[in-house]
Amino acid sequence: MRANYSLLTGILALFSLCSTVLAQSWPADPKLSGNAFLSPGLQQLQADAQNSPVSLWLDKGQQQWADATGGASCKSCHGAPQSLRDKVPTFPKLAPTLTGSPGALKLINLEDQIVACRTRAGRLGARLDDDDVLSLSALLHNEAKGLPINVQPVREQMPAWTAHLEAGTALFAQRLGRINLACVHCHEQSVGKQMRIDVISPGNPTGFPIYRMSWQKLGSMDRRLRACYSGVQAVIPPPGAPELRDLELYLKVRANGMPIEGPSIRR
Ligand code: HEC
Ligand code: HEC
């Protein structure tokens, strides 16, 4: 009884927030990126290459790219970061696991690949949420800015790829947490509505990694998705959890053709 009551108040609170009518009306085009929902002040900050907090992360990414302390540098194997420009819009992809059973395929995103390369070069213990990994992700996304997202299956991997995509598609529609809402309820059915300090966008994956003002640092798609799990009071998956990769695959396929805009600023 008590549990039901708190669930009900949670849902009511959420919907009263969601239905707050804004003075400004927001468009509901499913192909809009999160940038379209930023306040004018944040849009200005984002456009200001010198003063944007993102610029510090890009500087750090440049340093990391050439850094050879603790293992071979990215540069020593890959040359200039531009050489990976075309690869950025193709993640997540199925890759042979670097640690697991030989021949097995694992769905990895760009940050997973960076962690794998850092580990291979001898930096054991590299983790997805490390500042080094995030700054390298920012650097590579910045190189790829403007390129269309291009996530496609490889012919030989078709069955496994399709299974991951179907899992991600199902997850997007699955109700989660004590609030009992699915991604689709917010990012398709409530686009343009205000929720606390945010305006709900279609949840396109074009702007990552993001510098979120409320985090005061750069964060990955993983972290954002985990924040959405937290928002519906669901059990939060750990960084790199398979369901987060399946969701990323679904979001990227849904956004195929949209330009990469990351790294970018969010509330
Ligand atoms: C209760 C509503 C709600 C639910 C349910 C929800 N989100 Fe979100 N999500 C938000 C809000 C609010 C934001 C921040 C504003 C925005 O960009 O939409 C956000 C942001 C995002 C973003 C970042 C968009 C950007 O450009 O910065 C992605 C991607 C995303 N959500 C995906 C998901 C996925 C996948 C699910 C399901 C696991 C989900 N969300 C469930 C409310 C929700
Ligand atoms: C010792 C050589 C080596 C170093 C050092 C190295 N990489 Fe790699 N990298 C590779 C190889 C080999 C591949 C091919 C895929 C695989 O085997 O993982 C690769 C693949 C990649 C890819 C994906 C390219 C594609 O075709 O999809 C990215 C992105 C990447 N590396 C980033 C980095 C970053 C960032 C660093 C620095 C932290 C780094 N790499 C350091 C060898 C290296």
For the segment 26-71, what is each residue's pLDDT rounded down to a tens digit?
666 889 999 999 999 999 999 998 899 999 999 999 999 999 998 9
Q: How far apart are the first and last CA of the chain?
A: 37
Is 38 touching ligand 1 by the criterion CB < 6 Å?
no
Residue 118 has pLDDT above 90, yes or no: yes
Mean pLDDT of the chain, nearest integer: 90
Quote the tokens at residue 47: 């456009």
Instruction: Using alpha carbons only, give the angle 92, 93, 96 rounded to the nearest 5 degrees.
Output: 135
Instruction: Using the structure block, give the residue that is written with the tokens 């420009």.
Output: 85
Nearest CA to ligand 2 atom 1: 121
- Tokens at 88, concatenated: 């950025």
Q: Residue 49: what pLDDT? A: 86
Mutate to test the pocket of ligand 1, among 12, 172, 183, 254 (most ligand atoms within 8 A of CB): 183
- Residue range 78-88: average pLDDT? 98
| Distance separating alpha carbons of residues 182 and 188, to the nearest angstrom | 10
Instruction: Please give the distance, rounded to the nearest whole angstrom, from the Cα atom of residue 181 to the centre of ligand 2.
Output: 38
Of 27-36, 76-85, 86-95, 193-202, which gets the smallest average pLDDT? 27-36
pLDDT digit string, tens, across residues 98-112: 656 777 899 999 999
Q: How many whole angstroms from its chain centre is CA 74?
A: 22
Q: How confident is the model at residue 253 (pLDDT cuts 50, 70, 90)?
A: very high
